[in-house]
Amino acid sequence: MNILHMKYAVEVARLGSLNKAAETLLIAQPNLSRSVKELEAELGITIFNRSAKGMVLTPEGEEFIGYANEILKQIDQVDKIYKEGAAKKQRFSISVPRASYISEAFAQFSKTLSGDSAEIFYKETNSQRTIHNILNHDYKLGIIRYAENYDKYFKILLEEKGLAYEMVTEFSYCLVMSADSSLANNDNITFDDLKDRIEIAHADPYVPSLSLSKVVKEELPDNISRRIFIFERASQFDLLSENPDTFMWVSPLPEKILQRYNLVQKKCSDNKKIYKDVLIYREEYKLSKIDKQFITQLCEAKRKYIL
């Protein structure tokens, strides 16, 4: 269907006259008449009854003009968005590890959003699903977490998949537990202090090219006989605050989180393992303005809580 002919028919219907419409549209009246007839022939309907009083819409014509007006409005909106520089919807998507400093960065990032329309997706998951989300589910950014000794395995995978990567931070895990725990006042805690406690852990460790059993053995050693696996971070904090016999290994937490859940954060001299948080995205992807806003907040949160 010729969109120009549709516009002509809408203008004729508005003015009720071929002559007046031709003047408004700055085209010859015979050309306008021919365009309307071609449109009617293409649709197989009569849009106008011609009479001495002018051009009168038929019932079919009224229905068609109603549709035509809606279509032309949508075309105008597209023109405004892509030709006149109207504000586009802001889109941001990221998959991240379950980390409080990252969620704090995301909360601060949300305050920087302008009044324009926006779609924001924030998903907490493990490194395997983060990589999968970028490759298969149109997530633009991801942050993966892994132990330093697995660095080569992840870099090989990221390069094979065409993913760019940038270091965010590295750190040693802290212990977090209820302020009511009998260990809460200890200046330093050892692995031996924890052996009769209940560890709260994630159930989804992952390292590319290594078997799950090997990774589990390294990340969840058998010196702890009791573990509760929870994927959702808020539920982990609820359990830690309610059960003084539980503990969890975490990246450093903001003080306000500790206070909110009546928790304490402790160092463990026996735990010398270093972990890395790494930002990833497709090599061909160009970071948007809104991506850079988040990265700015992420760097500020890292400096505040990790370094």
pLDDT in tens, 177-196: 999 999 999 988 999 999 99
Do 269 and 188 form a contact (C-beta atoms < 8 A)? yes
pLDDT band at residue 215, thresholds of 50, 70 and 90?
Answer: confident
Token readout for 20 is 């007046």
**Rounded to an integer, what distance in angstroms lies between the CA atom of residue 265 and that of residue 248?**
10
pTM of the model: 0.70
Angle of helix 127-136 relative to helix 151-160, nearest 10 degrees, comes to 10
Of 100, 113, 164, 99, the closest CA to residue 293 belongs to 113
Q: In what order do the strands lie in the sheet with 198-201?
A: 226-229, 198-201, 246-250, 174-178, 263-266
Token readout for 277 is 């948080």
Task: List all residues 6 or more positions away from 92 whose beta carbon is below 8 Å from its beta carbon.
Answer: 118, 119, 120, 121, 140, 141, 288, 290, 291, 294
CATH match of 89-162+281-307 with 3.40.190: yes
Asked if residue 220 has pLDDT above 90, the reply is: no
Beta bridge partners of residue 45, listed in sequence order:
none
Domain residue limits, the chain: 3-82, 89-162+281-307, 174-272
Write out pLDDT tens, residues 42-62: 999 999 998 877 899 999 999
Does the fold of domain 174-272 match that of domain 89-162+281-307? Answer: yes
Asked if residue 86 has pLDDT above 60, the reply is: no
Higher pLDDT, 294 or 233: 294
Length of the chain: 307
CATH match of 174-272 with 3.40.190.10: yes
Query: Which CATH architecture is the domain 3-82 placed in?
Result: Orthogonal Bundle (1.10)
Write out pLDDT tens, residues 89-134: 789 999 999 999 999 999 999 999 877 788 999 999 999 999 999 9
pLDDT band at residue 83, thresholds of 50, 70 and 90?
Answer: low
Count Cβ atoms below 10 Å from residue 225 Cβ, excluding itself: 10
Half-sphere exposure of 284 toward its Cβ, with a 13 Å CA cutoff?
A: 3
Beta bridge partners of residue 51, listed in sequence order:
54
Arithmetic mean of pLDDT, 271-286: 95
